[in-house]
Structures are given as C-alpha cells and as structure tokens.
Chains A and B, each alone.
Chain A
Amino acid sequence: MNYRLLAENIVKKALKSGADEAEVYLVADRDFELDVRNGDVETIKQATSKGLGLTVFKDKKLGFTYTSDFSDASLEEFIKKTVQLSLVADPKPWNGLPDFKKGKLQDLDLYDPSISEIPSEKKIEMAKEAEKIALAYDKRITKSQGGSFGDSERETVIVNSKGISYSSKRTGVYFGVSVVAGEGDEMQSGGWGCSKRHFKDLDTIEDVAKKAGKRAVEKLGAKPVETQQVPVVIDRYAAPAFWYGILFAMNGDSVYKKTTFLTEHLDKPVASELITLVDDPTVLRHNSSVPFDGEGNLTQKNVLIGEGVLKMFLYDTITARKAGVKVNTIARRYGYRSPTSAGFLNAIVQNGIVPREKIISEIKNGYYVTGLRGIGTDIPTGNYSCGSSGFWIKDGTTAFPVDGVTLGGNALDMLKNIEVLANDLELRGSLNSPSFKIAELAVGGEK
C-alpha cells in the first residue's frame, strides 16, 4: 500500500470536513522476535501492523485521534469525528501547523535490505550461540533467562496541509542474552545486547555474550557501604539515566511554566566546562537517527550545552510559539498514538580524553557506579537522590561490588563538579555519554 498517498488523501478529506489545518503521522511496522532458552526455541513472534494519528486545527482549537482501522468507511467516520472533537478544546493563539517549508531529506543510511533476507535458522543460531557462550562464561552462571534475536522494518510517513509530505524507511536488528549467576543463596542477573540498523554493524556474538556473563558474575557478593562523601565515577552505561533528568529539566514547556530548576539558567554556566551536550539525529546508520522529526522538520545537529553553558531549551513548534521564542524546534513523537511534544532525538555528551581505567586508578577511596535506578533528579528543585549499584574503589582499583546505596545531592552541583570526562563514548541509544567523575558526592548506605 502507498501510505504516503493514503496520508495525503486523509489530509485533504479533513480539510473538506471543516478542518483549517490537518496533519497525518503514519507508522507501518514489520516485526520479528524470537527467544531461546536452554538451547531450545521458546517463542517466535511475527507480525505486520500499522496505525495513524490525525491532528486537526479548527479556529485554533486542537483535535487529535488515532486508529489502526484503515478501512474506507471507518476512515471517513474517523476524520469527521476528529474535526468534531477539536470543537471541545479551547482556542489558543499558538495552535497550528509549523511554518517550515518542505526540503530535501538526507540519506542517513538507515535501511539495510539484507535484513529481510536473513534465514530463520541463522537468527535462531545467533540467539542460541549467545546463550551458550554466556552460560559458559563462568561456572557460577547457572541459569539462563534466554537469548533473543529480533529484526524489524518501519516506514514512517508525515503529511500536512502546508505541503510537508515525507516518507522514510528504516530497519533494525537486535540480539542479546541474559543469564543468572548464583553463589549460595544469592542470585544476580546480567544481560547485554546489541541493536543496529544494519546487520553488518552488529557486535560479535562473543563480545555481547561475554559481557552479559561478566555483568552477572561481577555483582555477586554486592553489599551496601557506610554513609560518606567520596569521589564518584558514573559509568557510560549508567550515565544516560542521569542525563535523562537533565534533559527533562530542559523541556521548553516546563521552562515556560517555571516548573524546572533550569528556568533561569539560559546562557549561563550550568555544568563543568568539559561538558558539551548536543542533539544530533543525523549520525549515519545510528539507531536514533531520523531524517525528519515528529512534525516533519528536517533534522540537524543542535548544541544544547556548549562547554558548560546552557545554549538552548527543547521546544516543538507549539511550545516555542507559546513561550514566544525563536529557536530550532525538535519535536518528538511517541508513535502514532500521541501528538508531538518537545524533546530530544539523539542526545550525545561529547567524548572526553582520559581512559576510564586511569580515572579510577587515581582514586584512593571512591565509588564507581555502574547502575542507576531511575533518573534521580527532582525536576522542579534539582534535588538529586538515586539508588545505585557498582563497585567500591580502594587505592585505585575496584575492590568489591556494591548495591543498595543511594547517591544524594543537587543536579546542578553534580554537573558543575564533573572533574574528568572519559574517552569511552559509545553510541547505543537515544542518549549517549562517556563515563565521568564527579569530585564528591554523598553516598548513603547502611548507617
């Protein structure tokens, strides 16, 4: 089916039904997932699905609906209902489609045609192999939570009545494994996976599986520590949870409502000079790259924090108009079931220069955090309090595993106290950071 044509027709019909402006965001997916456990296939799931969200504006009032029922009769009714729904809302002067014009989409190399041709046997083999290697990693690994493989193909379409009309296709491929290590009564789980747009870009099965095994075993014997103030190193894989809090606090709508601790900090230093944070959804072949954002704006690189100075907040068109600011908008879309919101697409904290091992080796008594439970930051106040796990550092080496310990402080102080940035940045998801060291932080444990 030509989904772009369908979307264009729906936009036209919405205008005919009385909408002043209309936008269709359509997603069509093909998904395959399989799990193996103890060397045998456990589940295989496959499907195709689709759905569209329709946004209309009538007299500056917003109406939003979605559906996965694409039959002609249902769509007619659906369009009428959307226009009717908009009448319930209050008019707002900032409501309406964005003003940007249609441009040329960049080719970000997000589609790998070979993925649809991978034979099932090979997918099963990869998941089995990953499980086998992870189970064999250490004799204390006794149970498997399963190996998995998945691949997907997605077409995203956006069409609006101001002339925007784009379609983009991307593929995804994934495999991973999770195992449990045990010693006495204690159990610890560890897992790892790798997800890419191109099959060729996947890490080796051996690397992924061994990492899963290592992550289970190294946690055995974890214990809390006494309450104290020490230098803390946040590992690159734990760091995204911290940055999520900072990025939530940069949401333009929260700034407008003065419900974020960063409200008064635009163009001021908010972090150590080492920190440059960008949003860059144009990295070739990357998982979180997209050629257009949730409202059909061509994507680009934006500097959010430059050498410690807060350069911009995150706005989509409507929140920017409401706040009366002129900025590059970044609109996020959580699938076709929700309208746009301000957000980041692919945030990256720029890489540092010091090897992580060297940072740790220079700490006499400190805490290397490899797991954070939640974002920790209270957005209105910037208070930071977060459960964590990791390793205690004694005389420059990791001495024993730690769990059940909170980090407490203030997000702004933490940002400003980032002393060293490691050189271990790895792009995995939509939020990426190297490991970093905070000069001192309250670690709350047993007493």
Chain B
Amino acid sequence: MKSFFKPITRRKFLKSGIAGGAIIATYPVWKLYSFSTPPSDFYVNPACNLSKETLEKLIEIALQKGGEFAEVYVEYNVGNQIYLEEDKIYGAGRGVDMGVGIRVLHGEKTGYAYSDDLSFERLKQTAEVASHISSEKGAQEYTGLKSSQVPSYYLVKVSPDSIIPQEKAKLLWKANSIGREYDERISQVNIGFSDTNKKIIIANSEGTWVEDVQTISRLFVSINAMEGDKRSRGYAYKDGTLGYEHYDLKVAEELAKDAGRMALAMLPAEDAPAGEYPIVMAKGHCGTFFHEAIGHSLESDGIRKKTSCFWDKEGKMIASPISSLADDGTVLGVRGTINVDDEGTPGQKTILINKGKCVNFLYDRLNAKLMKARLTGNGRRESYQHYPLPRMTNTYLMAGEDDPEDIVKSVKKGIYIARIGGGNVTWVTGRFVFSVPEGYLIEDGQITKPLKGIQLMGSGPEVLKNIVMVGPDMEILGGGTCGKNGQGKPVSDGNPTLKVSKITIGGAKV
C-alpha cells in the first residue's frame, strides 16, 4: 500500500534510517516453527476466501488454451496510517485493496490479467484473457490442489489493524514531546505510524495451495533542526513484520531521541571533499548499498537475459575473499521477511556470494524453470495487479573477522558513513550514486567532523573487489520499499562494519 499522506518522491529506494530497538538477525537459532495463522482480529472480506472448487475451476479455464502453468493470486490488503506534524494530528487514513491476478506461463511467455470484481463471472473472464498467451490445442492435465502450511517468521501477536487510531496517536504524541524538548534548535517534528495487513491466497496448476497473512508495521520520526542559516534533518524508525505488541511509549521516546541526536549532529556539517577516499561503513545502516549496487545485478531475470554485469560470473570470483552476501526471507520479524513468496514458494536463505565467489542467483518460478535452477523463494509482486519478478527479501553482507575499532583506526584520511541514503543504480553496468544523510570525516584513525552533501559514486563490481576489512558485527537495520519495473516491495538490508579501500566521493567542495 502506498503512503496516502505526504506523497514522497518516487525514488529507486524509499529509504530512511534505522530501527530504535535493534532487530538483530541472529538467525537461524531463533526460528519459531509456529504455523502461519491470521490474527483473528484482522477482518478479511469473505468474498476473498475463494473456495477450493472455485480456484480449481479458474486454473482449469486458464489452462484451456494449452498453457503450461497457471496460477491464481488472491489479495485482500488493509492499510492504516496516522500522521502528526506541527503539534497536531494531521489525520488518520485507511485503505482497502482487493483483487485477483491470474497468470499463465507458456515457455518464455507470460499472460497476465487481473480483476477487482470478485464475482465468478468476472474471474472466469479474467482467466480466459490470461489463457490466450498460449494457442496450443488441448488443455494440460491438471490434478487438483493440495493445501500446504508453512512455518512463520513473523513476530505478530496483535494485529495493528485491530488497534484504534486514538491508541496509535499516543505513540505520536510521546515522540513529539520528546523530540520538541530534545533541544531548542529543533524546529520541526513529524511522526507517522503505518501498517499494512495483507491476506494472500496462491493456488497453481502444480497443486500448490497456500495462504499467508503478511503484516508490516512502522513507526517513523523525522526531526528538523535550525541554527542561523544552517539546516539539518535527522530520522529514526522501527519497522518490520511486527505486531503492535512491539510498540510502546519507550520505543517512541528512543526513536525521537535518536532522530534528535542525528539532526543536531549534522547541524554543523561542512561540505564534503570531492575525490577518491577510503570509506568505512557503520554496521547495520549501510546495507542498502549492497541491495542496490550488488543485489539487483544478481536477480535471475538480468542473468538470463545477459543484461546484468554478473550474467556470466557464476562460479567466478567477483569480490574480495572476505566478502560474502546473502538474501534471507526467514530472518525473524524484519521488513522483508516472508513465510512464502508471492508464488507460494517458502521463504529461504540463499548465499549469493561465498568468500568472494559468485555461487547463486535469486530466482522466481519463470526464470528458475528457463534456467533449470532451484527455486529460492524470491518471486515477489507488489499486488494482484502485477506479475511476479525475482526480487530480494532481506539482503546483507555477511559477518567477517576484523575488529570494528581497528577498521576505523586503519584509515588515515577517509569518510565514515553512519547511514546511507537513497541510491540510484544502473543495473546493466552496476554504476551507482548514493547520498549520505549522516557521514563524518576520518582523520588519523579518528571520526571527526560531520559532512554534508556526500555522494558515493562508482560501480558495484569494483567496490566488491575493494572490500578490505569486514567486522563480525552484522546487523539488519535498514528497511524500505524497493522499486523495480514500477513495482514497490518491502525489503530490509544489513551489513557489518566494513572498509572499502577507495571510492569516489562527489561533494560540493572541489
């Protein structure tokens, strides 16, 4: 669901800062093998609960022109949002999206149609439209659906949809008063709480029939500070596949303080120097870099079409031998976590780069089939209006062995990236630009002055080779909405403290 208040500029990655309470990814020891049952207080329009017979009938219709594979995706999605600015509750909003998408695959071809009218007559037409991608004679054999259940990696006891907005407003007021009192230079405090509650049903011609309820919640604090003609902004958030039991006044207070701290830290920032420097990335907050500059180029569609810079690199060294990269949809309670992907494949962990070597890619069903690869649980779509694409879930650079303090000490003159911001990457070349909302100068092994206007530039494949130190302190603290081919999808990312030997910094100071 989109944000209904305060439309944000569409960027490749709508990105913000950190979680207050650290969501630590100490997988897989904590995996809770409870079964995914919807919280009872999340209301789903009964019209969405298509019966087994209806689903089977629709699959049959979709296959009638000889398509090799057919799938029905049903979605009911409720979103809530409440927003505070200028010492007032701006408003509370609520939205409902409901619909069915039907897909037929035939060789490399995809037929897709969707409807938000759930009457059988309209769904039948929708299935017929999708079926036309194939024009073979005779329908495929189809043996019916088998219900399957999957383990749950969400941390949801209380559905945020069951909490009245007046209750959520208390969190906003708390963060507002803490933020305002934090320092007299604070000029603006904006806070929002949002949640999406999505029930999906996926049924396909291979017999898969699975349901999932996906809850994502987020408390966000943004603070502006002002002194003379200097301006700065700080932010903090907590989000994840989390129930409302994870939010209280203490969380709101911590987030407000953290956002205030960042705003004040950046207030005296000076223009960043331009040129080539070593950089250190702080743990947890810079994973977006790996998501954008590396992860997208490891998605199987670009590999199959040979349009990714890594298309011929499987089994080859593409990074320094201390660098390993993983995507893991089963990290407990973080934003990109999924019990099943949007094709019904269970969420899983996939190592993409192992000690510098490219060992796997991220697959959806179509590309896995065409490339004769194993499914990795990365077939994801924004909604019933979209067909699945290979997409990341929670992506992170894996832990190494260097002492984080030594990493900073090893830099004579360089840049410390405390948080990375939005990025822009050309996937064919891996060439990127990232902004840095919180960064500092490193002089003689010490973090010194705050810097503004830092732009990191370069190419993903080059940076991978220049990762020279990696700490053991991996955390997943980044989370946002990733955009690909016009589809937004929630993801998380993480990293340990690390050093890149050189990267181009574009700054205002020449």
Contact = CB atoms under 8 A, between A and B. Distances in A.
Interface of A: 37, 40-51, 53, 61-69, 71, 74, 78, 81-82, 85-86, 88-90, 92, 143-145, 180, 186-189, 224, 227-229, 244, 248, 257-259, 334-335, 337-339, 341, 373-375, 378, 380-381, 383-387, 403-406, 408-410, 442-447
Q: Is chain B's binding surface mostly helix, strand, loop or mixed?
A: strand
Given A66-B95, A78-B96, A406-B506, A88 B166 contact: yes
Contacts of A53: 4
26 contacts: A40-B108, A65-B96, A66-B95, A85-B91, A85-B92, A88-B89, A88-B91, A88-B166, A143-B307, A180-B307, A180-B428, A228-B510, A244-B9, A337-B1, A338-B4, A383-B508, A385-B508, A386-B455, A387-B455, A406-B457, A408-B274, A408-B453, A408-B506, A409-B508, A444-B507, A445-B504
Q: Is chain A's binding surface mostly helix, strand, loop or mixed?
A: strand
B224 A259 contact: yes
Interface string B82-122: 10001011111111111100000000111111111000000
A380 B506 contact: no
Nearest to B82: A88
A66 B4 contact: yes
Contacts of B1: 337
Interface of B: 1-7, 9, 11, 45, 47, 82, 86, 88-99, 108-116, 126, 129, 132-133, 165-166, 169, 187-188, 224, 231-233, 271, 274-276, 305-307, 309, 385, 387, 422, 424, 426, 428-429, 431, 433, 435, 452-453, 455, 457-459, 504-510
Contacts of A334: 2, 7
B508 A374 contact: no
A28 to B, nearest CB: 10
Contacts of B385: 47, 49
A45 B111 CA distance: 6
A53 B4 CA distance: 10
B269 to A, nearest CB: 10
Given A339-B4, A380-B231, A444-B274, A406 B507 contact: yes
Given A43-B109, A374-B422, A408 B507 contact: yes
Nearest to B87: A90
A11 B199 CA distance: 30
B274 A90 contact: no
Contact of B508 (A65, A375, A442): A442
A43 B98 contact: no
A67 B96 contact: yes
A209 to B, nearest CB: 18
A387 B432 CA distance: 8
A433 B458 CA distance: 29
Given A46-B113, A49-B385, A224 B504 contact: yes
A226 to B, nearest CB: 10
A64 B306 contact: no
Given A44-B111, A85-B91, A445-B504, 8 more contacts: A43-B109, A49-B116, A64-B4, A64-B92, A65-B93, A88-B169, A248-B9, A444-B510
